[in-house]
Amino acid sequence: MDYESLLGALVTLFIVSVVLERALTVLFHWRWWKRFCNGKGLKTVVAVAISWAVCSKYGFDVFAMMFGKEAGTGGYLVTALFVSGGSKLVLSVINQINAFKEQSGLRQN
């Protein structure tokens, strides 16, 4: 696995995360949701379920992308957990990887 593959997979993860985050915002701010589901701890369950459905439907397994492997159920689930964590989580991971790369002297100038 090279840095470009890793960064490409994480950028894709970020984009999917932003799209689903915005879509779920519409659902979670819907009057019906606020009336019947708000405060019942369902947001996380719904976010993970929808993220998993999207990841498995479109074969989006970030670990398979990074390591050049075949996509699978476990990879879809872990990818869905990252996606449902939101764009802020994914951006944090990207920043941590960039910081590690800079500290370890892997940055090419």
Distances (CA, A) of 49 to 23, 24, 28: 14, 11, 14
pTM: 0.74
Tally the residues of the chain.
Answer: 109
Q: Is the pLDDT of residue 6 over 80?
A: no
**Spatial separation of the C-alpha atoms in residues 70 and 20, rounded to whole Å:** 24
Encode pLDDT of 16-32 as tens digits.
988 998 899 899 889 99
DSSP assignments along 21-70, one per residue: HHHHHHHHTSHHHHHHTTTTT-HHHHHHHHHHHHHHHTT--HHHHHHT--
Residue range 45-58: average pLDDT? 93
How does pLDDT run across 67-105, given as a tens digit for each residue? 888 889 999 999 999 898 887 777 787 788 778 877 876
